């Protein structure tokens, strides 16, 4: 079994902009290998509390092991939990609310590099792509059981793949002969379906399709939409919600959700004054998302597309 390895993105920026109170309660909703969790934990004193969550059991085990090595009196809790259940986590562990909540939406290096998890089109492995391996639906189920129309929709919506229909047709054709069970099988089908002139433009033809299927398997976008407003109102006064995204679909959801929170008025634009009397309870800490420094992108290529947005409860 490979060791869980993952380099946390924009760790310095997260710590700085979360404005950590050493006596506060902080929730790392996507603990991964514990990188962000440990940075937060080291800044808390005996009155502080860190809650580290992840839907990947291996991530939970790794984070707990690494936190225990610090042998500090600061309390911590590690939970196998999907961040969509942030309300349950807070109700059961810190009902007064959180001083900070962090969400890193990237797929971990461990998940990408471990061929057994089936996330990568570079390595041959089973078509899995489950972040939580206790769940039933896998990428193999999606590829072999979804209709051509369903496949076309998710490839177009979640992968922004302009060749979605061609790829869906190729998948359906191939699976009529033999079930598609491995990442390399799928990657080859996608490559063959791509127009010849687009196969070698510097980016792998399977990139967008694999992203789309992964999002479908883990219901990533719907979970994010549901979680963000819940998390925002579970913050204490002056508490902050920090979210790191890695592609435009995620970032659009975060941006729109934050804008709705800082501009809660539901009156028609034609109204000269607000009559709904909804008052904003949140504000943006940075108007434009933070991006990693060039030194970080050179050191960690996977950080290049990341963006960090921060919201504060007022």
Percent of residues, the chain, with pLDDT higher than 90: 81
Provide the pLDDT for residue 272. Answer: 83
Give the model's pLDDT for residue 1.
46
* Tens-place pLDDT, residues 161-194: 999 999 999 999 999 999 999 999 999 999 999 9
**Chain segment 88-103, per-residue pLDDT in tens:** 999 999 999 999 999 9
Edge-to-edge strands of the sheet including 25-28? 75-80, 49-54, 25-28, 98-104, 235-245, 307-313, 282-284
Rounding to the nearest 10 degrees, give the CA dihedral for residues 150, 252, 60, 83.
-80
Q: Report helix angle 248-262 to 220-233, nearest 10.
A: 30
Question: Mind listing the domains of the chain with CATH numbers?
Answer: 11-104+222-313 (3.40.50.150), 117-218 (1.10.150.170)
């Amino acid at each position: 079994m490979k060791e869980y390895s993952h380099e946390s993105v924009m760790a310095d920026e997260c710590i700085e902009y979360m404005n950590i109170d050493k006596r506060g309660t902080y929730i790392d909703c996507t603990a991964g290998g514990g990188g962000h969790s440990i940075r937060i934990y080291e800044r808390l004193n005996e009155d502080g509390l860190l809650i580290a969550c992840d839907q990947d059991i291996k991530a939970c085990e790794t984070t707990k092991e690494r936190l225990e090595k610090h042998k500090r009196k600061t309390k911590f809790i590690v939970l196998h939990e999907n961040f969509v259940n942030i309300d349950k986590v807070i109700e059961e562990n810190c009902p007064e609310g959180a001083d900070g909540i962090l969400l890193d939406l990237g797929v971990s290096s461990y998940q990408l590099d471990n061929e057994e998890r089936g996330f990568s089109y570079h390595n041959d492995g089973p078509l899995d792509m489950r972040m939580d391996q206790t769940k039933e639906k896998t990428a193999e189920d999606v590829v072999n059981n979804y209709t051509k129309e369903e496949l076309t929709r998710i490839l177009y919506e979640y992968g922004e793949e302009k060749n979605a229909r061609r790829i869906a047709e190729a998948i359906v054709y191939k699976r009529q002969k033999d079930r598609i069970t491995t990442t390399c099988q799928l990657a080859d089908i996608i490559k063959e379906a791509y127009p010849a002139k687009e196969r070698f433009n510097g980016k792998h033809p399977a990139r967008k399709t694999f992203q789309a299927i992964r999002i479908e398997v883990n219901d990533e976008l719907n979970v994010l939409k549901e979680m963000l407003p819940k998390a925002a109102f579970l913050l204490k006064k002056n508490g902050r919600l920090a979210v790191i995204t890695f592609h435009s679909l995620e970032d659009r959801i975060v941006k729109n959700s934050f804008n709705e929170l800082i501009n809660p008025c539901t009156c028609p634009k034609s109204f000269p004054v607000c009559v709904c009397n909804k008052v904003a309870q949140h504000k943006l800490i940075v108007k434009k998302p933070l991006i990693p420094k060039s030194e970080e992108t050179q050191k960690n290529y996977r950080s290049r597309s990341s963006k960090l947005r921060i919201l504060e409860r007022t």
